[in-house]
Amino acid sequence: MAHDEGYFAADAESNEELERLRLIESLGDPATTRRLATLGVDTGWHCLEVGAGSGSIAGWLSERVGPDGSVVATDIDTRFLGGLSQSNIEVRAHDVTKDELETDCFDLVHCRTLLCHLGNPEVVLASLVSALTPGGWILAEEPDFGIIEAADKDHPLAHDFDTANPKRFAFLRDAGIMDGFLGRSLPALMERAGLAEVQNEGLTQIARGGDPASRNWITVCDREPPRVS
């Protein structure tokens, strides 16, 4: 991406940004926790939650790993992680594009809708992989908006909707906000990072105007481009 790295919503008002993060959690957490449970996250695991947002998954991991395990919850903006008071959680201000991580340390590394906001996701993914213990797992969940189109082609606005979407994707990419197609590249990125047993899953959803998924999409599209210093 053309712009300097940085948290694309850093200038957002706190209540507005917290609402956006909680909306993402309400949409994504059911699938995320199902996937984490399938991976076998259990008592005693040491977990790294990168881009922890407002902390819902870090809290879930804390309960899952118990007092013998640990969770490091990192984010470039930790203002919404103050509620994570569990003794087995460490909250850490961390820029994954610049700051180093421990190596061979974590049984699980998880991130969601993180790599798509970065200019060089492959480099960051390699850093996350190096933080894993031998035999550890990484779960990276990223969007692919390439299949978005009007479900009802007879709707009077269907053509305009389908025409506008490529322009939205181009704007988000050129503004340095999001690569809306990264999800389809993840398996190849993970294989190049040296991971074994690479698996992938895609979920689709039909959303109507006013639905949570539609509101979430609007919160991204309404962001101003990051300021370049």
Domains and their CATH numbers in the chain: 14-143+181-207 (3.40.50.150)
For 66-103, how does the pLDDT look when each residue is reduced to its tens digit (9 = 90+)?
Answer: 999 999 999 999 999 999 999 999 999 999 999 999 99
Ramachandran angles phi, psi of 133, nearest 5°: -70, 160
**Global pTM?**
0.85
pLDDT(10) > 80: no
Q: Which ranges of the chain does DSSP label H, i.e. alpha helix?
A: 14-39, 56-65, 121-130, 158-174, 186-192, 212-221
Q: Please state whether beta strands 132-141 and 106-112 pair in parallel, antiparallel, or not at all (unpaired).
A: parallel
Report which secondary-structure segment, H or E, holds 93: strand 89-93
